[in-house]
Amino acid sequence: MSTNGRSSLAALAAGVVSLGLASCHPADPSGVVAASATAHKAADQFTALAKGSEISGQPPRQTNPAVAPLLDAVLSTGVLTGKPTPPASDLDAANDWMLSIVRVGQVYMFAGTGTNDPAKAADPAVEARAEANVVTFAPEVGRYVDAELTLLNAVDSMLSADLAANPNKTNDPTTADGLTKVRAGTTTAIDAVLGMLTIGGLTDDWRRARMPAILAIAPEAAKLLPANDMAQINKTALAAADASDDAGLKTQLTNFANSFAGSPSSK
């Protein structure tokens, strides 16, 4: 059972913000803009196939040959692997890609709950079914979690680099609001994924498979987040470590928690 009641659904809207920054991408050297456009189109097709699954409890699975390419288009983040931080001009595209990831994740999380409205996520019956769905649809939810954290890590890195180069940008209300939303989205998503790790019925293999994306987000997130968010993540990570019977996972989660025990961002 999760130690963080709404953790499964809390990640659904994380990181989906509009920063209102530059949107001109004549060359798209990072590939983020093209990947985002492809993900958006695939998410449209996937959610059309998934229509009614919030009632039926039967979302499209990745074992379906017609579904697998759509999930690959949305959830594969290889364009970000081993590459320099994309420019700040890609932030809006990255956030649209994040929205596509969330739309896919919502399908699995809300399957059989009777609703696809995130505003109803706090309903105890919806929470309970969503938590069960993490186990039922573990392969797809795992990919969703990894993609969400990877995109958030990229957004955090892009924003941090842009603010380091242009520290006065936070004087602009739109940028300041975007920073607040990214911080909140990062905290919510990390906290949610850590909570998922404590759900009964998941295998330790599944939990271990999540750790690369979890660990990768720590350096940038720890630079960006304020003190109260740092403390929340530290607390949830330590709880997840305490709940684990796997020595390796316990060590990794404890080390992750320690990454959020230091000095927070003062920006």
Asked if pLDDT for residue 11 goes beyond 70, the answer is no
| pLDDT given at position 84 | 87
pLDDT of 154-213, one tens digit each?
999 998 898 889 888 888 888 888 888 889 889 999 999 999 999 999 999 999 999 999
pLDDT of 25-54, one tens digit each?
456 778 899 999 999 999 999 999 999 999
When pLDDT is averaged across residues 102-131 and rounded to a whole number, the result is 91
| pLDDT given at position 263 | 52
Tally Cβ neighbours within 10 Å of residue 203: 10
Asked if pLDDT for residue 16 goes beyond 60, the answer is no
Asked if pLDDT for residue 231 goes beyond 70, the answer is yes
Asked if pLDDT for residue 235 goes beyond 80, the answer is yes
Q: Are 61 and 67 in contact (CB under 8 A)?
A: yes
CB-based burial of residue 245 (10 Å sphere; 0-12 exposed, 13-18 middle, 19+ buried)? Answer: exposed
Task: For residues 211 and 196, give the distance between their C-alpha atoms in angstroms, rounded to a whole number.
Answer: 12
| pLDDT given at position 15 | 39
Q: Are 222 and 230 in contact (CB under 8 A)?
A: yes
Q: With pLDDT > 90 as the criterion, what percentage of the chain qualifies?
A: 66
> C-alpha 78: how far from its chain's center?
16
Structural domain spans, the chain: 7-259
